[in-house]
Structure 1
């Protein structure tokens, strides 16, 4: 299950992808449009800025813009930034592998074998679905197909 913070991050990025590419969007506008608490959104966007996903502009015409094209930002990338490893078990994590505390051996663990399939399928969907896919209605059928 993803966190509320991750859902807000994905929704904010989708809102930025829907906006004009050269026009910054104010935090207050994203917060109102996406029903995200403004202070929480500020923290999320600052984190995404530090990871090179968005950029901010100051001033009267200030706000946030996507730094990377929406079609290059995957759901998996954002979930890793916001929530950390994408794995149902620590022994299946690609970025933060850790042997399970009660492990008698990964090769013989039937639970691990089942959840390895779950993790692989999940990663396949998350890393092949982009913010552009979610933002553009023409891609919604493709996203639905991937999630089915």
Structure 2
């Protein structure tokens, strides 16, 4: 299940993508746009900065901006940064694989193939959905490059 942290983060990053002002956005502005509690969002944005998805500028006109083009940041990147692997179980994860404690081997596990297929299906969607895709699909910005192919 997607955490509240990831939902706030995705809303905040899509907002940053769609903003017409080229400068950094203040935390208060982002929190209002993402309908997120400011203090909670501050911690989330700091984690995204630590994970190189955001950059920040200090000072009166400071704030947060995307560290890379919106077309290069996927929903999977954001979710993995905050919630960890996309897989339902560690034995099905590509990024954080480890054997399950209750299964003797993957070959003998009757649920492993379903978990892998679920991971692959979720990853296909989330790795293909960028911040730019989200902003364009919602008609949030006329300033983004047009149609995604």
TM-score by length of 2: 0.88
Q: 1:72 to 1:139 in 2, by over 3 A?
A: farther
CA contact (8 A) 1:21 1:65 kept: no
Give the equivalent residue in structure 2 for 1:39: 39
Asked if 1:110 corresponds to 2:115, the answer is no
In structure 1, C-alpha distance between the alignment counterparts of 2:109 and 2:69, rounded to whole Å: 41
Give the equivalent residue in structure 2 for 1:69: 69
Q: Could you say what secondary structure the match of 1:104 adopts?
A: coil
> By how many angstroms is 1:108 displaced?
2.6
> Which region of structure 1 is more displaced relative to structure 2, 58-67 or 2-11?
58-67
In structure 2, C-alpha distance between the alignment counterparts of 1:24 and 1:102, rounded to whole Å: 48
> By how many angstroms is 1:110 displaced?
1.9
Structure 1: unaligned runs, 5 residues or longer: 141-148
Deviations 1:100-122 (CA, angstroms, capped at 9, x unpaired): 11112211322111111111111
Asked if 1:14 corresponds to 2:26, the answer is no
CA contact (8 A) 2:75 2:129 kept: yes
In structure 1, C-alpha distance between the alignment counterparts of 2:107 and 2:61, rounded to whole Å: 57
Structure 2: unaligned runs, 5 residues or longer: 141-149
Q: Give runs of ≥4 in structure 1 deviating > 6 Å.
A: none
Give the equivalent residue in structure 2 for 1:131: 131
CA contact (8 A) 1:87 1:119 kept: yes
Give the equivalent residue in structure 1 for 2:4: 4
